[in-house]
Amino acid sequence: MILTVTLNTALDITHRVPALRPGASHRVAEVAERPGGKGVNVARVIAALGHEATVTGFAGGLTGRLLREGLTATPGLTDALLPVSGTTRRTIAVVDELSGTTTQLNEPGPVVSPAEWQAFQEAYADLLAGAAAVALCGSLPPGVPVGAYAGLVRTARAAGVPVLLDTSGEPLRRGIAARPDILKPNADELAELTGSHEPSRATRDARRRGAGAVVTSLGPDGVLAVTSGGSWHATPPARLRGNPTGAGDSLVAGLLSGLVEHLPWPDRLARAVALSAATVLAPTAGEFDRAAYEELLRRTVVTNEAEAA
């Protein structure tokens, strides 16, 4: 079982409009509503790849109930979310069909009480006993300590469970010091962490700060990975237009599934990049175009950075 942690779950709502004009009224061509939050998206993709996935974190209120109802329809996915007295947030994505761009609106999430946070930590430790790997994903809701991910990383490492961290800001800065096995920032998050806007240098710097491996998402330019076994740059065969929401989460799913299958790093990265690109072609986060994925996987290029230099 692969465990994903989403402390700030969400009900993802995607609106598609012919063209987005600030300050104007719009007729929405299509609306999609799905369970969301980074780790939830990761788990859905992992389940679609044929692995058992368990989702934990918090859910509360009407949106929390709708989120949990949506999870029941996903084969291979187990709901281990904990109740919270507040109401789960919504995220709103507005897709401009003319330009192909997406505008994202993210609510802050419910306030988590000390008792709710303590209950989660106890449940998390129990879930790790059956986990082959764990992903810690996304933002922290109000009330959760800024060092929460650092503590969860240490708990996973003590249990002997490989852990991937995908967050930003101060939670990322503190979490990397706890030595996660894999860190998955994007280029902006990496620059904020290291102060460097040169991806290769910043990725190497981040690994020196404590991560076993750092896989930096470069958007349409693929990923850059620095590990104990080498450095690679994986790129999709073409730039794709579509909805990028959830593409980074599919990348995490590719990395984690490759980890538990003991794939070599180049194969993990090829899978991760192909899944990420195929997600851009799907209508909502947490999904990917399977036919496109299989074609992209065959054509994704993975370059050994040492040999390229």
Positions marked active-site: 249
CB-based contact 206:189 (threshold 8 Å): no
Sheet strand arrangement including 30-36: 30-36, 10-17, 89-96, 102-106
CA terminus-to-terminus distance, the chain: 39
CA distances from 300 to 22, 283, 304 (A): 37, 22, 13
CB atoms near residue 188 (< 10 Å): 12
CB atoms near residue 305 (< 10 Å): 15
Q: Tell me which H or E stretch contains 223.
A: strand 223-227
SS3 52: coil
Q: Which two tokens stand for residue 307?
A: 């040999």
With CA atoms as reference, report the closest residue to 228 among 250, 207, 202: 207
CB-based contact 161:134 (threshold 8 Å): yes
SS3 182: strand
Place of tokens 């993802």: 12
Rounded to 5 degrees, φ, ψ at 129 are -60, -25
User: Please, which residues have CB within 8 angstroms of residue 25's CB and are 6 or more apart in sequence?
Assistant: none
